[in-house]
């Protein structure tokens, strides 16, 4: 059984301040013997930025922010996942990117959010380029890791694709917008992705007073809740026991019972 830390944080438009906060949370996670820590979507720079410089504040995957997160990962022997706005060749738009760094300080994977939040009063595509492929799972100390970002959660195809690729722990770093019934939707979708794929599904939600609700939560392969955050910054933990996946899938072999003759994949 391994422990993963969920850093339900807010961030500012100053990436240096966000780095200082990252180290504080990493130290706490290390003290609790977590093998991995997850920061939310928009962790490097807050979005939407009050001074409208979100695009200008973008960095590459070789920039100062990622470089320092690599240092933290190596120093604390901790896997780190975090959201950032990545610079592109289009000066008017960024990628909404998740970076995955291992305990040796190596950037081993990254993911560009594929489903952009063009819903309600938001139009993420105005300043963000959509990704063109799902995340390919990677092996980690907590199991085979899959990733989606926020609005991706509403599209079950992404989670199923990654489950079929061997994912055991699916993580959704998010900035879930506050609103009527939004927590019910967040909770229900996370639990559904866990139950239908019989894997761990963990949400890490950005918290801010104005836009994002926090209230991170996650579920085991049988749908049991693992943790529940409230509307504030906090560090949460989930225990991952991969044997539970085997037990659940033996009792209810949904992947064996799938009608592959009716599905494209």
- Element at 71 (helix H, strand E): helix 64-76
Which of 192, 243, 244 has its CA nearest to residue 218?
192
**For the chain, what's the residue count?**
265
Residues annotated as part of the active site: 41, 113, 150
Query: Closest Cα to residue 3, out of 186, 187, 100, 140?
Result: 140
Question: Please, which residues bridge with residue 85 across strands?
Answer: 96
From CA 164, how far away is CA 170, in angstroms rounded? Answer: 12
Tell me which residue of 250, 225, 222, 226 sits closest to 238, measured CA to CA.
226
| Positive/negative CA dihedral, 144, 150, 154, 158 | negative
Answer whether 54's CB lies under 8 Å from 61's CB.
Answer: no
């Amino acid at each position: 059984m391994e422990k993963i830390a969920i850093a339900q944080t807010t961030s500012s438009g100053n990436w240096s301040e966000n780095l200082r906060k990252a180290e504080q949370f990493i130290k706490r996670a290390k003290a609790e013997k977590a093998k991995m820590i997850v920061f939310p979507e928009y962790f490097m720079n807050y979005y939407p930025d009050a001074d409208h410089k979100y695009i200008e504040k973008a960095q590459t995957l070789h920039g100062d922010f990622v470089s320092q997160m690599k240092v933290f990962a190596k120093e604390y022997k901790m896997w780190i996942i975090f959201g950032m706005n990545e610079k592109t060749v289009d000066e008017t738009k960024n990628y909404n990117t998740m970076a995955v760094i291992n305990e040796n300080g190596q950037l081993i994977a990254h993911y560009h959010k594929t489903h952009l939040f063009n819903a309600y009063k938001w139009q993420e595509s105005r300043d963000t380029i959509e990704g063109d492929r799902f995340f390919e799972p990677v092996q980690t100390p907590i199991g085979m890791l899959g990733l989606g970002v926020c609005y991706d959660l509403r599209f079950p195809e992404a989670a199923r694709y990654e489950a079929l690729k061997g994912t055991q722990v699916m993580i959704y770093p998010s900035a879930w917008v506050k609103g009527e019934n939004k927590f019910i939707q967040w909770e229900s979708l996370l639990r559904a992705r866990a139950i239908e794929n019989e894997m761990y599904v963990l949400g890490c939600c950005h918290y801010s007073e104005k836009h994002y609700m926090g209230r991170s939560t996650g579920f085991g392969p049988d749908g049991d809740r693992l943790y529940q955050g409230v509307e504030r910054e906090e560090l949460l933990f989930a225990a991952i026991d991969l044997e539970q996946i085997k037990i659940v899938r033996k009792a209810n072999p949904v992947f064996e019972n799938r009608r592959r003759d009716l599905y494209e994949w």
